[in-house]
Amino acid sequence: MKTLAGIQQHLATGRFDFSRHAFRRAVERNISEEEIRTAGARAEIIEEYPEDKYSPSLLLLGFTSAGRPLHIQVSAADSDATRIITLYEPDPTEWDEFRKRR
C-alpha cells in the first residue's frame, strides 16, 4: 500500500491519472490539474476505505493556493502513479472544517 508521503509526492509532481468518473467530475467542477497538484502536495487523510470496491482507497483533504478545499479520493494500491477515483469541493453544510462528516 502507498504511504501518504508517496501519494502527496505523486499528486504534487503530476504522477496521477484519473478514473473516467474522476475526469468527468474534474471537468464538471472546474478543478484544474494545478489545483490538484497544489492541494495534493500537503493533503491529509480524512477517511480510509480498506474494503473499497476495486482496491483500498483514501479520502484526502487539501487546499489550493487560493484556499479552495478539495476532497480527493485516491486508490491506495501500489503503482507507478496515483489513481484519482473522484474529487470535489466539499459542501460545508455536510462537513465540519471539511474534515469530519456532520
- The tens place of each residue's pLDDT in the chain, 102 residues long, gives 789 999 999 999 999 999 999 999 999 999 999 999 999 999 999 999 999 988 999 999 999 999 999 999 999 998 999 999 999 999 999 999 999 999
Distance in angstroms (rounded) separating the CA atoms of residues 65 and 42: 11
Of residues 5, 7, 11, the one with CA closest to residue 56: 7
Q: Residue 73's pLDDT is what?
A: 98
3 Cβ neighbours under 8 A, 6+ residues apart: none
**40, part of any domain:** yes
Residue 32 lies in a domain: yes
What cell numbers appear for 15 in the block? Answer: 504522477
Q: Is 34 inside a domain boundary?
A: yes
pLDDT at residue 80 in the model: 92
Number of domains composing the chain: 1
Within-domain flag for 101: no
Q: Around 2, how many Cα atoms within 13 Å sit in the side-chain half-sphere?
A: 24
Query: Is 74 domain-assigned?
Result: yes
Domain that holds residue 9: 4-95
Please tell me the distance from the alpha carbon of residue 56 to that of residue 85, in angstroms, as a whole number. Answer: 11
Sign of the dihedral through C-alpha 77, 62, 10, 32: positive
Q: What phi and psi values does residue 37 have, to the nearest 5 degrees?
A: -60, -45
**81 is a domain residue:** yes
